[in-house]
């Protein structure tokens, strides 16, 4: 109790401004603390009316949780999300964050937009849904078909309805499917040996998710439900990265990217009709990086010209979509594991094509989602800035490059932070060590997102906001930070 009280007093005392008659040392200390905190994100935000009462309650609960974490060494942001989610869900701070408006969530992928429980308990109950456990990896994938598909080298297809009926309990069967797809395990630190190991399972997750999401009768429903879940969690707008995967019908007919885009736009219109208080969504057309490269450094070579030609065609398609669907398509991104696949430099000529032809196609690049400073993945940051990216995803290496930090602030380029994603994918463990802590303390533009939240069972936005507020931000960060983040995301 005494240590709790002392900790709280120290925190409160740190907010004190210099006053007349204060001893010189304490006055200088207070001035130094105030000067330092004046740079932090949210430091210039004004709270009004009842916001002060909310802030008092929020900070009381925050300090209580921090104090408890000091005693138990089980402070949630310092523990893997899989092992601490249950305690976060009971947190008073989380409850306040859960019900607050969060602005725009700007880094979300379509193949994890809606939670797994909805997919399993809704979509797999639909007629014509078949499943198999792949021979190579044992991960479950699905296919909708008019009649039982023939076995192939990867699968022996079984009707989901029949397989479920063979279980004593349907819920047990559904839980089995969900556990097979999800990345959640009891001991994630030891189960996933390294980044490449967890990314391998992550790839399986995408395969399973897409095999449900890409069926034409599902895609619109899943997109709508995903938007509804984000809206329920306090998001006013969602920007979704999508490769616009081929959509197929029950008879096996497949459709192109524009058909997929049209289905998503129709779902967005239906959602806006039902939720007039929402700003809806937009799509960032995201091309998957195609070919793996040599470890770390790669230079342009004729052996990969085919890859560049394909990328050129996708950028041209992005330009077409951006001009044809200006109210729904935001721009273009390239996605894949940055350590393993071609860097932005590989496509520098193709990526300059829009500006060279008079099309202002916005870029929203993933860049420096890596721990390797000085690698080509890290140097994607330089190219993202030179290519005039409007926002940058993850950017873990930004704090290691002082010139780039100045460019981010000067050009007002926000970094999209997804705290739980970085932890699950083993870029860091203790979120108090997240590089974004430097950015928040220096007032660099940051927006909070949830990336692939369905893969690890997180809420659409609230869990990531909690982890940032309680782990990445300062102990003294209060409601002003949360308010600033929401306003910045909309801006």
- Active-site amino acid positions: 369, 394
DSSP-derived letter for residue 444 is -
- Cα 228 → chain centroid: 17
Quote the CA–CA distance of 474 and 33 in Å, as a whole number.
13
Query: The tokens 């939240």 sit on which residue?
Result: 453
Closest CA to 285 of 243, 251, 238: 243
Q: Are 392 and 107 in contact (CB under 8 A)?
A: no
Instruction: Name 144's bridge partners.
Output: 129
Quote the CA–CA distance of 254 and 124 in Å, as a whole number.
20
- Cα 486 → chain centroid: 16
Strands 254-255 and 247-248 come out as antiparallel
Scanning 1-45, the segments in alpha helix (DSSP H) are 2-14, 24-37
User: What sign does the dihedral 37-41-46-47 (CA atoms) show?
Assistant: negative
Query: The tokens 């990265």 sit on which residue?
Result: 241
Quote the CA–CA distance of 486 and 284 in Å, as a whole number.
20
Angle at 467 between CA 466 and CA 468, to 5 degrees: 90
Closest CA to 436 of 471, 475, 460, 484: 471
Beta strands in 349-466 (DSSP E): 364-367, 391-394, 415-417, 446-448
Quote the CA–CA distance of 273 and 465 in Å, as a whole number.
28
């Amino acid at each position: 109790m005494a240590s709790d009280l002392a900790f709280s007093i120290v925190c409160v005392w740190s907010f004190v401004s210099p006053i007349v008659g204060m001893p010189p040392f304490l006055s200088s200390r207070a001035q130094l603390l105030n000067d330092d905190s004046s740079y932090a994100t949210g430091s210039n935000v004004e709270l009004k009316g009842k916001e002060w009462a909310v802030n008092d309650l929020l900070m009381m609960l925050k300090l209580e949780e921090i104090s408890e974490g000091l005693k138990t060494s089980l402070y949630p942001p310092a523990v893997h999300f899989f092992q601490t989610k249950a305690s976060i869900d009971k947190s008073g701070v989380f409850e306040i964050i859960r019900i607050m408006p969060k602005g725009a969530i700007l880094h979300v992928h379509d193949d994890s937009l809606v939670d797994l429980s909805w997919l399993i308990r809704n979509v797999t109950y639909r007629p014509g849904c078949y499943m198999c456990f792949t021979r190579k990896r044992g991960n479950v994938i699905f296919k909708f078909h008019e009649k039982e598909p023939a076995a192939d080298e990867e699968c022996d297809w079984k009707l989901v309805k029949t397989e479920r009926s063979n279980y004593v309990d349907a819920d047990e069967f559904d839980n089995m499917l969900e556990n097979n797809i999800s990345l959640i395990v009891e001991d994630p630190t030891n189960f996933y040996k390294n980044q490449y190991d967890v990314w391998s399972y992550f790839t399986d997750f995408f395969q399973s998710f897409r095999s449900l999401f890409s069926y034409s009768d599902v895609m619109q429903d899943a997109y709508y439900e995903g938007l509804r879940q984000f809206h329920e969690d306090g998001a006013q707008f969602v920007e979704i990265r999508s490769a616009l995967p081929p959509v197929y019908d029950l008879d096996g007919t497949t459709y192109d990217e524009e058909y997929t885009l049209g289905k998503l736009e129709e779902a967005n219109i239906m959602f806006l009709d039902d939720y007039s208080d929402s700003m809806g969504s937009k799509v960032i057309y995201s091309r998957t990086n195609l070919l793996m490269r040599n470890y770390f450094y790669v230079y342009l070579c004729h052996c990969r010209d085919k890859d560049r030609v394909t990328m050129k065609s996708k950028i041209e398609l992005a330009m077409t979509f951006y001009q044809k669907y200006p109210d729904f398509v935001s721009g273009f991104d390239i996605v894949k594991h940055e350590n393993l696949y071609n860097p932005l430099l590989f496509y520098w000529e193709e990526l300059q094509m829009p500006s060279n032809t008079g099309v202002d196609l916005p870029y929203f690049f993933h860049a420096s989602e890596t721990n390797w400073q000085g690698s080509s993945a890290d140097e994607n940051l330089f190219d993202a800035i030179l290519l005039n990216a409007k926002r940058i995803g993850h950017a873990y290496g930004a704090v290691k490059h002082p010139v780039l930090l100045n460019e981010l602030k000067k050009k007002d380029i926000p970094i999209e932070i997804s705290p739980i994603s970085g932890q699950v994918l083993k870029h860091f463990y203790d979120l108090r060590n997240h590089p974004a802590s430097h950015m928040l303390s220096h007032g660099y533009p940051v927006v909070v997102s949830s990336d692939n939240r369905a893969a690890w069972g997180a809420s659409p936005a609230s869990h990531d906001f909690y982890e940032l507020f309680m782990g990445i931000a300062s102990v003294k960060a209060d409601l002003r930070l949360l308010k600033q983040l929401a306003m910045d995301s909309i801006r």
